[in-house]
Amino acid sequence: MKLTKTDITVRWISGHNRVEGNKRADKEAKEVAKSAGNNSLQKCLPTFLWEQSLHTSILAIKQEQNSIMKKHWERLWAKSPCHTHTFKYDKNLPSGSFHRTTKGNIW
């Protein structure tokens, strides 16, 4: 493959410029978005959409799930005989670095 020097010009072009009805459609969409009646009736939505707040992203879901699992694990660990023993030596055990070091090992 031979590369050659090429001049490239980049220009912004309005995507909907001179499209018939575009301004009216924008205006109508803004009015609907601002109105109080633009929401779906709760009874028309699936239950999971109105029982709890929705997450904005997959990352938010993962973060929440990790937080729940960490709290659950901490409760289990606090009840463990190992916790009582290791707590005497290091109050931070098992730390994140400890988990990364021992990941995959079976005790």
Helix ranges, 35-103 (H): 47-51, 58-79, 81-87, 96-102
C-beta separation of 55 from 61 below 8 A: yes
pLDDT of the residue at 36: 62
pLDDT of the residue at 47: 76
53: containing domain: 20-87
| Residue 32 is assigned to a structural domain of this protein | yes
The pTM for the full model equals 0.35
User: Which segments in the chain show pLDDT lower than 70?
Assistant: 1-3, 12-17, 36-42, 51-56, 91-107
| Residue 95 is assigned to a structural domain of this protein | no
| Residue 6 is assigned to a structural domain of this protein | no
- Considering its fold, how many domains does the chain have in total? 1
Tokens of 103: 């990941």
| Residue 40 is assigned to a structural domain of this protein | yes
pLDDT of the residue at 60: 81
pLDDT of the residue at 8: 72
| Residue 27 is assigned to a structural domain of this protein | yes
| Residue 4 is assigned to a structural domain of this protein | no
| Residue 7 is assigned to a structural domain of this protein | no
